[in-house]
Amino acid sequence: MIATWFLIISLIFVFGSVNSQSNINVQKLYTFLFTTNNYNTLIRPSRNQSVPLSVHVIFTLYGISGVDEIEQKLTATGWLDVQWTDELLSWTPSSFGGLRYIYYPQGKVWKPDISLQNGFSKLEELGSKFISVFIDSNGLVNWRPFQVFESKCDIDSTYFPFDRQTCHLDFVAWSLSKVDVHITKGGKGIQLAKDIQRHGEWKILSSSALNLVESQETKVRFTIVIQQKPVYAIINYIMPILLLSILDIFTFKIPVDTGERMGYVITVWLAYAVFLTIISDSLPQTSESIPIVSIYIMIQIFIATVVVIISAIESGCPHLSDDESVFCLLRTLAKKCREPSVQSQSEMSKRLYGAEICVTWKEAISALDKCLFWVCLTIFVSSTLITLFIAGLQFI
C-alpha cells in the first residue's frame, strides 16, 4: 500500500514538473520577447534581411454570400491561415517552465500586409484587433483573420439559369515586393469548411489555388467555380413561359366566328405582359451578356403579338361577302392549304379558272388557321430545342 502511494506521488511530481507553466512564466516570456529584445513591429523578422521571408497562405471557404451580376461582384465568407517564421520570436521552453506557445494580439507583432488585390471595396487591414496570433517556441507564427471578402468577378449570364461562374481571389503583400516577402500557397491552398454555409441559389463545384509570380510581387490566386441552382428558375420562369406559348398556339383552334377568339388571344398576351412585370427584377439585369432565356422570352412574345394581329385581321373577314372576287385567289390558296392532296395540272387550272375558284370566308380562314397552327408549333418547338441545346453547350 505504501509502495502504491509512493508511485502515485512520484508520477505526479515527475509529470507535474514538466507542465508547471504559470502566469509568471508567461509574463517573463512576454518581457523577454517584446521588452528585453526590443521587438519592433516595423522590422521584417529575418536576421538576414537580404533573404525574402516565406509566407504560406491557406484559404478556408465558409460559404458564398451572394453574386451580383450588375456590379460584377462575388461575396464570399472565410478565413485565411497565414504562416511564417519570426526569427525574433523564438525561445527555449525549458527556460520558461516548459512554455511552448503563446497567443499575442495581431497588432503587436510584425505581419505581412496581405490584402485582397482584386477587392471590390476599399483597401483595409485583414482581421480585427481582438484576433490574436499563435506563436510557438520555434518562432512559427500562425495568423487566422476571418473576413467577408468582396472580390471582382466577371459574371457571364448568357446561360442563365444554367450558368457557371469562375471567380478569383488574389491575395498579395500590398507594399512589400518579392525581394522582401515571398507568398505561396500552403498545403492544398484552398479548402472548404466542414460546416460550410449553403447558399439557396449557388452551389460550389470546385476550388483551386495557384502561385503567381509577377515582375515586382508574388501572390496567391484562389479560384472558386460556382453553378446556379436552376430548379427555382425553371419552375417560376421557364415553365410559365412554355405553358403560355402553348396556349397562344391553340388560338388557331378556336373558330374565328364564335366571338371568343379575340378575348382569348388578348388575355394570353396580357398574361405575358403581367408575367414579365413580375419576373423582370429576378432576371439578370446586365447588358454585357444577354441571357438566352431573355431572348427566348422575346421570341415567344413576338409570336404572341403576331397571333394577336392575325386574329384581329381574321375577325373582320367573316363579315365580308363571299361574292367579292378580289379576294378569291387568296381564299383559293387557303383552300389548297386545307386540301394538300396532289392534283394534276388540268385540275389545278380548273380550280384557278373554273367555278371552284372562290370558297367561303369561313372555309378560307379555317384552312389558314390550320396552316398557322403548325407553323407556330414548329417555331415553338424549334426555338425551345435550340435554346436547350445552346444552354447545354457549357456542360460539354
Cα distance between residue 396 and residue 375, in whole Å:
32
pLDDT in tens, 76-106: 989 899 999 998 888 888 888 888 988 988 8
Q: What's the mean pLDDT in 46-65?
A: 88
28-48: burial string, b at 16+ Cβ within 10 Å, e else:
bbeeebbeeeebeeeebbbee
User: If you count them, how many residues does the chain have?
Assistant: 396
Is the pLDDT at 358 greater than 60? The verdict is no
Q: Which tens digits make up the pLDDT trace of 267-308?
A: 888 888 888 887 777 777 776 677 888 888 888 888 888 888
Q: Is the pLDDT of residue 11 over 60?
A: no
pLDDT value for 356: 47
Tell me: cis bond preceding 161? Omega within 30 of 0 counts. yes
What is the spatial distance between Cα 228 and Cα 74, in angstroms, rounded to a whole number?
Answer: 13
Q: Quickly state the pLDDT bin for 317 (edges 50, 70, 90).
A: low
Section 178-190 average pLDDT: 85
Q: Is a pLDDT exceeding 80 seen at residue 242? A: yes
**Mean pLDDT value across residues 65-77:** 86
Q: Does the pTM of the predicted model rise above 0.75? A: no
Q: Contact at 8 Å (CB) between 98 and 227?
A: no
> Between 340 and 192, where is the model more confident?
192
So what's the pLDDT on residue 325?
41
pLDDT of residue 338: 54
Strand, helix or coil for residue 185: strand
Q: How far apart are CA 118 and CA 80, in angstroms?
A: 16
Distance CA 228, CA 240 (A): 20
Instruction: Give me 312's grid cell.
Output: 384581329
What is the pLDDT, as a whole number, of residue 396?
58
Find the mean pLDDT for residues 4-28. Answer: 53
Q: What is the predicted pLDDT for the residue at 142?
A: 92
Q: pLDDT digit string (tens) for 123-137?
A: 777 878 788 899 998
- Phi, psi of 278, rounded to the nearest 5 degrees: -70, -45
Identify which has the larger pLDDT, 187 or 385. Answer: 385
Percentages helix, strand, coil for the chain (3-state, rounded to 5) are: 45, 25, 30
Strands (E), the chain: 53-68, 73-85, 101-105, 114-116, 132-136, 140-143, 146-152, 164-173, 181-197, 202-213, 218-228
